Every structure is written in C-alpha cells, then in structure tokens.
A and B are shown apart, each in its own frame.
Chain A
Amino acid sequence: MPRLLLFYQLMVRPLLREPIRAGLTVLAVALGVAVVLAIDLASVAATGSFHSSMEALAGDNDLEITASGGVPEGAVGTLAALPYAIRISPRIEDYALLADTKQSFPLVGLDLVSEGSAYEQDKAGSGGELSSAEAPKDSIEYLEDHESIWVGSSLGRKVGDRVRLLINDRVREYVVRGVYPDSNGNESAIVMDIAAAQQALTRYGRVDRILLKVPQEPNLDEWQRRISAALPAGVEVRPQGTGTNENRRMLAAFRWNLRLLSYISLVVGAFLIYNTISVSVVRRRPEIGIVRALGASRRVILGAFVGEAACFGVAGALIGLPLGRLMATGAVKLMASTVESLYVSSRPGAIELNGASVLLALAIGVGVAVASAYSPAREASLVSPVEAMARGRREYDVSIHKVRDLWLAIMLAIAAAAASRAPAVAGKPLFGYLATILLMVASALAIPAFVSVITAFTSKLLGKLFGVEAMLASRSLAASLQRTSVLVGALSTAIAMMTAVGIMVGSFRQSVVLWMSNELPADLYLRPAGSPAADRHPTVSLGLAEGLAKIPGVVAVERLRAYEIRFQEMPTTLASADLDVLDVVRWYQNSEFLSGRPERQILPELRHSNTVIVSEPFAYKHHLKAGDTITLSLGETQASLRIADVFYDYSSERGSILMDRQTMLRYLPDPAPSNLAIYVSPDARLETVRTEIEKAAAGHRVLLFSNRELRSEAIRIFDRTFAITYALEAVAVIVAVMGIAGALLALVIDRRRELSLLRFLGAATGQIRKLILLEAGLLGLLANLAGLALGFALSFILVYVINKQSFGWTIRFHWPVEILVAALTVVYAATVLAGLYPAQMAVRLNPLEAVHEE
C-alpha cells in the first residue's frame, strides 16, 4: 500500500499535471489497440460467416458428396440402394435475391417430405434448425408445392406473405408457408422443396450436395471409402464441413495480411510510449537520485517507470475497447464486400466483443506499453544517485551510438535483402514479413545518423532561407537527438507503410487497368442481376443469348460459363469461353500470358480439346506451369487437361481454369451461360444496339454494361477492396502525428528556459511560435524523407515478395505519384498543424519564471 501511494505521488500525479500530453499518449495506445481489435473482430465477423447459412442448415451429417457441375440425381438412388442404414439428404444450394430489398440469401432446396419424416424419426433431436420450424400443421400439404418457401424468422416475414425472389435472371413469386427460428440473421436462408429449386435454377437431373448421416461404426474413413466406391469417378465424398475449412484456409492470407497491417499503428504507438517514458526519465532524473539516495532499489525505479507505461497501456486498452468495437462496424462492411468479391459468398456476422477480446486488448495495450518502456526504464534504474542529483539537465544523446547503430542498420538491411529472396513457408510469406521487420528496425537504427547528417548540413542553409528561428530549430532537434530520432522513427514508420502500401496498391491498380484493356475485348457485357460474389455463377436463360445474336449490329455473342469447383482441396473457378467467336471478332495483340506467347497462338490450342489455360494465382498456388497436366472431377468423370499456358488474371485470388465451351459441354452439359460478351459491328451505333438488347432482355433480370462501364465498375470494386488498407494507414499516421504533438508539448516544457531566454534576448512572440512550428516542420520533413526511402524499399518487398507469395499475382511496379504527393502533403501539413498548440503554449510561457527558476 505505501508503495502504491508513492507510485501515485511520484509517477501518476506528475502525469495529471500534463493532461493533454498524457492524454495524447493514452489516445495513441488506444488507437493502436482499437485498430488491432477492430480488424480482429471484423475479420471473424466478415470471414467467419461464409459457412453459416449453408452449414447451419446442414444438420448433424457426417459426409458430403459433391461434384463439379453438380452430383447426378441418380447418385441418390445408388446410395439408397446400398445395404447401409444411412440418412441421405440431397440438396440444391444457391443464392436468391429479395427482389424488393435486393438482399441476398442462401437458397436451399431440400427433399422436404423425406427429410421431414427422417428428422421426425430421429428422436435424438439433433436435426438442425429446420427441426424446430414453426410450421403450421397445414403447411405440410404445401411441401411439394413449387411456389412454397420457408424462411428464417430474421427475414421478418410471416406465413402467407408473398415474396418475390430473383433467381438467376428471373423474378418469381413465392408464398411463405413457414417461418423457422434462426439464431441470428446470418443464418437465415430461404428453403424450398428440392424439385422447386431445381426448376427455379434450371438445374434438372443434378443436385449440388448430398449430405449423409452414417452409423458410428465403422469409422468415417471407411464409410468414405465404401461410398466412394459406389459412386462415379468424378464424384467426391468427404467429411461434411470440408468446404468450410477449405474456404477458411483460402482466406488465411487475406486475414493474415490485414491483421499484420493493423499492427502498424501499434508499432507507431510503441515508438511514442518509448518517447514518453524517455522524457519522463530525463525530467525526473533529480527525483530518481533523491529516492535512490533515500533507499529505493534499482528494481523499484525500474518498476515505477514500467508501471507508468502500464498505466498508459491499461488506460489505452480501456479506451481502445469501445473504439475498436466501433471501428469494427465499419471495417466489417469493407472486409465482407472484399471477401465476397474476391473469395466466397459471405454475409457479415455479428461482431462479438467477448471476454477474449477484452483480454486481447489489455494484453496488447499493456504488453506494447511495457515492452517499449523497458529500455528507458532500465536506463533510469541504472542512474547513480549522485549523477542523477547533479545540477543541470542531461540531454538524451548520452546513450546514442550513431556510428555503431548505422553499421548495425546496414547489416540488418543486408539480412532483409537476403530474407526477401527466401521462398514462402507453408504458403505464407514469413520471410517477407521478416524482411519487412528487419528493414523497419534497420531504418530506426539509421535514423540518428540520418538526422545528425541532415541537420548538420542544413542548419546554416535553413537559417539563411527561413531566418534564425530555422537555425535554432535545426540545432535544437540535433541536440535532442534521441528524442528527435524516436519521433522521426515513429512518423517515418507510418509514412513508410503508407508509401509502401500506396505504391503496392497503385501498382496493382495500374496492372489491373492494363490487364482489363486486353481482357475485355467485347463492347457489351451482360450478366444476371444480383451481387457478383466470386463463388456464385447464376446463369442467363439460353434463349436470351440466342435471341441477342440475331439483333442487327451484333457481330457475335460469346457465351461464358463458370462453375465453382475444387482442385487439390482448394476452391477455384472453372470457366469456359466460346472460342468459336474468335473467328468473327478482333484479336488483341498484347500478350497477357506468362510465357509471352501471343493470344493468337495459344487460344486455338484450346479449341475442342482437353487443353486449358490457368490463371497465375491458380498456377502459383498449385505449383503448376505450362505443359503440366491436371486432373479435374467434372460431372461423373475425371478429366485430364493439359495446361497450354498461364494467363495473368486479377479478377479473383481463388484462381481459375479456362477451357473451350465445347470441351466444357462434353463434361458439364448444361448450356446456360453465366455471362455474355457481346461484340458489336464497327458500323453499328453502340447505343442503338444496346437499346435493342435491353428490349430483348425485358422480362429477364440482367445487368448490361458497356466496356467502359464494366471497367469502371471493376475499378470501383478494386478501390473499395483497398479502402480498408488506406484506413489502417490513416490511423497509423494519425497516431504518429498525435505523438508529434505530444512530443512537441514536452519539448516546449523542457525547453522553457531556453525559450524564455530568447524573449530576454529580444525574440518576439511570433518568433517563438515560428521556432516551434519550424521544429514541427523539420520533424515532418525528416520523417517524410526517411519514410519515403523506407517506404520505397518496403514497397519492393510488398509487391514482389509478400503479394506474390500470398496471392500469386505479378504486379507491375508503378509509382502513383499524385497519390503519394497528395498523401505526403497532407501528412506534412498535419505534422506542422500538430505544432500549433505547443507553439501557442511556448508563446504563453512566462519568461521571468522560467529563467529565474534555476
């Protein structure tokens, strides 16, 4: 208790005397904690929900049977004929849009009659959500009615309501026959009889999945083997939930990278805690001496300063918790849309701030604060009482070893270069991350030398350019080398990450823009209305495609078809293009293949043959190259396909395989296309043709894009995808700028004697203000220079190592000059503005008190 009282008197009370500075430090920690927590909560909510709707309705089954393009309906009969007591649940699984609200929901087609009786018989009561359906007794008669649906209670519909659903490119009306209680809105789905679903989706003769409940004996592997043996070669039997796990694995890189990016604010916050505790130690050297002389041990001193940092950590964590929860709400929307457009259908789940989240926040806040304060706290504990009580203020630069640190920095930079050459470990760019960390540490170590050199060479020049205040500012920064270095380190780290991510995203964007100019040769594109999730491939009525081809001015209609398939336990897209169309449309000259071979040479190899081209992310993930052969389960058969080449593709990280339409129809005979690419005659007016197409498509819910609109839409999705990274960078910069403001406040307090002396020597108040603003400006300039250099180096690692190893994309390096200049200008302006309040405080200092207090 006495120790706590002493801690309060000696450590906490002084902090309360400087509420703004202490508040800024706490806020910096709070923002760091909040960002990490927000990304953690949001990534669980956004990526953890993709399985929920389908899986929640899957019940307690053991195995699932799938096949690319659907499982033949006959498999149900085959299974039923087996001499085993197994429960068989075939289902159709897709998505439907509520036509009035445009909300997307999973659409599940079940064999309601047989499943209902099976569940009824299953007295174990573990039959999933539908077993608890609040279906009125008379709803039984509607089970096989093709207009009947059952919905989750969170949809807010009641029995008898009429609901219009957009399924593929058609709107159909259904009647709600029952409402089942769903535990939360993410698990709600629209359920109908399997035959009705097949009809609505024109998926005759096939089901998407068959779920099996098998007896406990023998084991699951044996059941898997027995059932596989009874089914055609292309049909896969696997434990239920495998798809969910695969999806989760697929999302790992996305989640990892986002999570690591969220730590940047925390790193910047750590710099600032280090600075705050360093200032605290320097200011209290006399007090340290006194309490040491009065009997305090080194451990007590160490504990006191670590305790001070822990106070910042706890306070920051407590503020960071609600802040993180709030940020997560925004983050989850951005992340969910990215997951959907790049990976898999998903609806954000509920954000759950539980005990683990609170512990995580406290651990991060206190952990980072204590770790970053340890070094200055230890320095405080090593001060001898006599030295500490000696008159005069010891400057920070006592422990600076510029040259030694510079050498260390060079060695670390070399180590970073070596690490960046290493391959991925288990699909994760661990050495890329290591290279990034090494470079950041190298930069921090090199900054004292950098600041020394720059200030030494420029102080006179600055004096000539901006007056004596600039010279004084420059000298002051050089004299407080450790403090200056820490501040420049903090801000430059934030700027470097902003620059690196800016270059990476800018390069990526430019690559996408260039790629689209080659990949989108048609004049108009048509697809079913609804959200374009990466794993959803609704189809357009076949008749519509045929009708459009007859419109005057239309040269050709290319029918593209895509399926969600699995290859080597990873989800991917199998697509087909109508290569016959290439006979009548123009070719594009620019090669978009890794080999550099022209399109004109490669695509003809695909025609009517078991030859495919694969996307770069697919080839990278599965370690494939041109000339290799892959085996895919297609329909009821296993197809061996030769890879003609690898094409650049930025549309999805999942990877894709492209084959000729005729080849696909041999395995997957459903002729309905997923998209149409329409080529218009150069002699026809595009707008006139478009109007005719819209007329022909009346009655179909489709979206028609011109080439330019499609590109704009793609870029809009791209920008939305990366909005969260910009937001994370912005928070890191805000934390750093807050740190600069806090540090300048400390600087003013510590240098009040010097600033007052200047007043005695004839300095006007305006000159004092200018001096502090110039210091802020110089700090900003030094941080910008160091940050740009570090950011440039980091961008190489991001573009060529982390991105490549995480996602498999080749990005062409591009400087987004305008964005960088604008961002750096904003950061610089913010840094100077951060000096306004400290400058005002400096002006308000009473010079008499400050000069005479010695």
Chain B
Amino acid sequence: MPILALQDVSKDYLSDGQRVQALHGLSLNVERGEMVALVGRSGCGKSTLLNLAGAMDFPTTGSVLLDGVSTSSLKDEELTRLRREKVGFIFQSFQLLHTLTVFENVELPLLLAGKTNVREAACERLAWVELEGLGERYPHQLSGGQMQRAAIARALIHSPIIVLADEPTGNLDTTTGNVILELLLRLTHEKNIATVVATHSLEAAALADTVVRLRDGRIEEITRR
C-alpha cells in the first residue's frame, strides 16, 4: 500500500470571484523509502499538491489517501492527529521560531502532541542531521544550512511516515542546498520514510528516486530511477 495516494485529484480555488483550477485529475502514489521531486514552473501546482498531501487542504474532487486513510473523511481533530503522527513539514524559509532554542524548536511537534520527556528524541534527531552540540543555540545563531537541518530534525521528531518539503533549498546556496538534499535522501532511505520535495532545483531532481514534472496543474511526466 502506498504511503500517499492521490487518486484523480482536482483542486479549484476562487480568486477574486473567478474559479481557478490548480490541479486537474492528478493521480500519484508515493511509497516508503522513496524520495519524490515535484518540479515545474511557479504556479504549476507543486505547493497545492503538498498541501493536499499533508492534509492541510482538501481536494475539490478525487481523494487523497494518507497511509490508507482518506483525508476528506476526517474531522478537524482527526486531521490534527494525522499530521501530528504521520506528516513532517519542511519549508523554504526554515520557519523556526526565533524565540525558542534549537532543542525547543525540534521538540515542538512532540510537545504540541502532549508528549513529555522529549529531550532524548530531540538529541537523537539532531544527531541524525549532524547538529549535535547546537541544541541550546537560538536560530539566529545558526547558518542557513544549520537552520534547515534543524528544520529537518523537527520534521522527523515524531517519526512521520512522510516528509513534505516545499523548496527546502530555496534559501540556501548551491553547495549547502546539495548537502541538505543528500541528507534528506539519506534519511529517506535509512528511516524508510517517504519524502516529497517541491523544487525548482535541478540538483534535487537529479537526486530524487522519482521526478514528477507538473505543468498547469497536470502531471506532464513521471520519471522513476
């Protein structure tokens, strides 16, 4: 069973009273241990697809199955629980809370889920992203690459089955960006999770197990390696 299954998904928005179709009848399966790169021009529907995959939004038609569960059938509390347990998010601008230390940022999803004694897990995840010893620092004391590593550690803290990354290298230089992508790929394989990366980066596309090329809300091409 795929971790993520999009079945004939369409998504419409109303913009200034006009109906805008962001995704058209799109179907895609993502398996454990697979890193999928979503590529395409701005506005092609990459972010919309990620939002649907992360149960942050719902399809207009079709269905999104996350670990076999249709997101459209869930109530708000169930969706929150689904995200808490199964989805990790990574953002282009890191989105770390500057009022919290690295440890506290990483621990946040577990704390929001009401877990206690989370420091050990945070230390472990920081070790995964090679940030040992930086846990007490604040985000502004880190480099861009370090901040994105911390964001990856946070995305993995609750052992999700899928990580959704929206332009994770968009704010980084090429070298640092490549390091981050390699780290994501390594963790995807080592931890047997699924990772979906929306990107403009050719390097990301070159590293990914599967490349999905989107154009005007439709899948133009799927390339598997």
A852 and B54 alpha carbons, distance in the complex (Å): 14
**Closest residue to A480 on the B side, CB-wise?**
B99
Q: In the bound complex, do residue B108 and residue A468 qualify as a contact, i.e. CB atoms below 8 Å apart?
A: yes
Most buried by B among A463, A754, A764, A847: A764
Q: In the bound complex, do residue B80 and residue A851 qualify as a contact, i.e. CB atoms below 8 Å apart?
A: no
- Contact mask A842-854 → B, CB, 8 Å, 1/0? 0000011001101
Most buried by A among B56, B83, B99: B99
A478 and B54 alpha carbons, distance in the complex (Å): 32
Query: Which chain B residues border A390 with CB–CB below 8 Å?
Result: none
A759 and B51 alpha carbons, distance in the complex (Å): 12
Choice from B51, B76, B84 contacting A848 with Cβ under 8 Å: B51
Are A475 and B100 CB-contacts (below 8 A) given A762-B109, A767-B112? yes
Q: In the bound complex, do residue A848 and residue B99 qualify as a contact, i.e. CB atoms below 8 Å apart?
A: no
Query: Which residues, 158 to 212 on B, are CB-close (under 8 Å) to A?
Result: 158, 166
Choice from B77, B95, B111 contacting A468 with Cβ under 8 Å: B111
Confirm or deny: B113 has a beta carbon within 8 angstroms of a beta carbon on chain A.
yes
Confirm or deny: A758 has a beta carbon within 8 angstroms of a beta carbon on chain B.
yes
Q: In the bound complex, do residue A468 and residue B112 qualify as a contact, i.e. CB atoms below 8 Å apart?
A: yes
Q: In the bound complex, do residue B47 and residue A762 qualify as a contact, i.e. CB atoms below 8 Å apart?
A: no
Choice from B51, B80, B93 contacting A854 with Cβ under 8 Å: B93
Query: Which chain B residues border A761 with CB–CB below 8 Å?
Result: 89, 108-109, 112, 154
A767 and B97 alpha carbons, distance in the complex (Å): 16
Q: In the bound complex, do residue A479 and residue B112 qualify as a contact, i.e. CB atoms below 8 Å apart?
A: no
Q: In the bound complex, do residue A467 and residue B114 qualify as a contact, i.e. CB atoms below 8 Å apart?
A: yes
- Contact mask A459-486 → B, CB, 8 Å, 1/0? 0000100011001100110110000000
Choice from B57, B83, B95 contacting A757 with Cβ under 8 Å: B95
- Contact mask B66-92 → A, CB, 8 Å, 1/0? 000000000011001001100001011
Query: Which chain A residues border B158 with CB–CB below 8 Å?
Result: 762
Which label, helix, strand, loop or mixed, suits the secondary structure of the A interface? helix
Q: In the bound complex, do residue B56 and residue A848 qualify as a contact, i.e. CB atoms below 8 Å apart?
A: yes
Query: Which chain B residues border A764 with CB–CB below 8 Å?
Result: 76-77, 80, 112
**What's the minimum C-beta distance from A244 to chain B, rounded to whole angstroms?**
64
**Closest residue to B89 on the A side, CB-wise?**
A760
A753 and B114 alpha carbons, distance in the complex (Å): 22
Interface residue total, chain A, C-beta cutoff 8 A? 26
Confirm or deny: A763 has a beta carbon within 8 angstroms of a beta carbon on chain B.
yes
A4 and B149 alpha carbons, distance in the complex (Å): 49
Are A852 and B47 CB-contacts (below 8 A) given A761-B89, A762-B80, A763-B80? yes
Q: In the bound complex, do residue A765 and residue B109 qualify as a contact, i.e. CB atoms below 8 Å apart?
A: no
Query: Which chain B residues border A757 with CB–CB below 8 Å?
Result: 91, 95, 97
A847 and B114 alpha carbons, distance in the complex (Å): 21
Q: In the bound complex, do residue A475 and residue B56 qualify as a contact, i.e. CB atoms below 8 Å apart?
A: no
A469 and B86 alpha carbons, distance in the complex (Å): 22
A472 and B76 alpha carbons, distance in the complex (Å): 22
**Closest residue to B98 on the A side, CB-wise?**
A479
Q: In the bound complex, do residue B57 and residue A848 qualify as a contact, i.e. CB atoms below 8 Å apart?
A: yes
Most buried by A among B83, B84, B97, B113: B97
Are A851 and B91 CB-contacts (below 8 A) given A479-B99, A754-B97? yes
**Closest residue to A854 on the B side, CB-wise?**
B93
**Closest residue to B97 on the A side, CB-wise?**
A754
Q: In the bound complex, do residue B154 and residue A847 qualify as a contact, i.e. CB atoms below 8 Å apart?
A: no
A608 and B158 alpha carbons, distance in the complex (Å): 96
Query: Which chain A residues border B109 with CB–CB below 8 Å?
Result: 761-762
Q: In the bound complex, do residue A762 and residue B98 qualify as a contact, i.e. CB atoms below 8 Å apart?
A: no
Query: Which chain B residues border A854 with CB–CB below 8 Å?
Result: 92-93
**Closest residue to A393 on the B side, CB-wise?**
B98
Query: Which chain A residues border B98 with CB–CB below 8 Å?
Result: 479
Query: Which chain B residues border A478 with CB–CB below 8 Å?
Result: 99
**Closest residue to A767 on the B side, CB-wise?**
B112
Q: In the bound complex, do residue B95 and residue A851 qualify as a contact, i.e. CB atoms below 8 Å apart?
A: yes
A471 and B100 alpha carbons, distance in the complex (Å): 9
A761 and B151 alpha carbons, distance in the complex (Å): 11
Query: Which chain B residues border A471 with CB–CB below 8 Å?
Result: 104, 111
Q: In the bound complex, do residue A765 and residue B76 qualify as a contact, i.e. CB atoms below 8 Å apart?
A: yes
Interface residue total, chain B, C-beta cutoff 8 A? 29
Query: Which residues, 750 to 801 on A, are CB-close (under 8 Å) to B?
Result: 753-754, 757-765, 767
Q: In the bound complex, do residue A847 and residue B97 qualify as a contact, i.e. CB atoms below 8 Å apart?
A: no
Most buried by A among B112, B114, B166: B112
Are A475 and B112 CB-contacts (below 8 A) given A761-B89, A848-B56, A852-B47? no
**What's the minimum C-beta distance from A282 to chain B, rounded to whole angstroms?**
15
A475 and B158 alpha carbons, distance in the complex (Å): 23
A92 and B110 alpha carbons, distance in the complex (Å): 88
Query: Which chain A residues border B57 with CB–CB below 8 Å?
Result: 848
A478 and B154 alpha carbons, distance in the complex (Å): 23
**Closest residue to B80 on the A side, CB-wise?**
A764
Query: Which chain A residues border B83 with CB–CB below 8 Å?
Result: 760, 762
A37 and B134 alpha carbons, distance in the complex (Å): 59
A759 and B57 alpha carbons, distance in the complex (Å): 12
Most buried by B among A471, A761, A847: A761
**Closest residue to A476 on the B side, CB-wise?**
B99
- Contact mask B14-40 → A, CB, 8 Å, 1/0? 000000000000000000000000000
A711 and B112 alpha carbons, distance in the complex (Å): 59
Are A847 and B108 CB-contacts (below 8 A) given A475-B100, A478-B99, A762-B80? no
**What's the minimum C-beta distance from B178 to chain A, rounded to whole angstroms?**
23
Query: Which chain B residues border A847 with CB–CB below 8 Å?
Result: 56
Query: Which chain A residues border B93 with CB–CB below 8 Å?
Result: 854
Most buried by B among A753, A760, A763, A765: A760
Query: Which chain A residues border B114 with CB–CB below 8 Å?
Result: 467
Q: In the bound complex, do residue B99 and residue A762 qualify as a contact, i.e. CB atoms below 8 Å apart?
A: no
Query: Which chain A residues border B92 with CB–CB below 8 Å?
Result: 854
Q: In the bound complex, do residue A760 and residue B56 qualify as a contact, i.e. CB atoms below 8 Å apart?
A: yes
Choice from A754, A763, A852 contacting B112 with Cβ under 8 Å: A763
**What's the minimum C-beta distance from A233 to chain B, rounded to whole angstroms?**
81
**Closest residue to B54 on the A side, CB-wise?**
A760
Query: Which chain A residues border B56 with CB–CB below 8 Å?
Result: 759-760, 847-848
A516 and B150 alpha carbons, distance in the complex (Å): 72
A20 and B107 alpha carbons, distance in the complex (Å): 36
Q: In the bound complex, do residue A762 and residue B54 qualify as a contact, i.e. CB atoms below 8 Å apart?
A: no
Query: Which chain B residues border A753 with CB–CB below 8 Å?
Result: 95
**What's the minimum C-beta distance from A132 to chain B, rounded to whole angstroms?**
73
Query: Which chain A residues border B112 with CB–CB below 8 Å?
Result: 468, 758, 761-764, 767
A472 and B100 alpha carbons, distance in the complex (Å): 8
- Contact mask A52-70 → B, CB, 8 Å, 1/0? 0000000000000000000
**What's the minimum C-beta distance from A693 to chain B, rounded to whole angstroms?**
74
**Closest residue to B76 on the A side, CB-wise?**
A765
A758 and B84 alpha carbons, distance in the complex (Å): 11
**What's the minimum C-beta distance from A705 to chain B, rounded to whole angstroms?**
64
Query: Which chain B residues border A763 with CB–CB below 8 Å?
Result: 80, 112
A759 and B108 alpha carbons, distance in the complex (Å): 11
Query: Which chain A residues border B80 with CB–CB below 8 Å?
Result: 762-765
Query: Which chain A residues border B154 with CB–CB below 8 Å?
Result: 761
Query: Which chain A residues border B77 with CB–CB below 8 Å?
Result: 764
A852 and B164 alpha carbons, distance in the complex (Å): 14
Would you give 19 A-B contacts (Cβ < 8 Å), ordered by A?
Answer: A471-B104, A471-B111, A475-B99, A475-B100, A757-B95, A757-B97, A758-B112, A759-B56, A760-B83, A761-B89, A761-B112, A762-B80, A762-B83, A762-B84, A762-B158, A764-B77, A847-B56, A848-B51, A854-B92
Supplied contacts A753-B95, A760-B56, 7 more A-B pairs, CB within 8 Å: A468-B108, A757-B95, A761-B89, A762-B83, A764-B80, A852-B47, A854-B93
Across the A-B interface, the 7 shortest Cβ-Cβ residue pairs: A762-B84, A468-B111, A475-B99, A479-B99, A764-B80, A761-B109, A760-B89
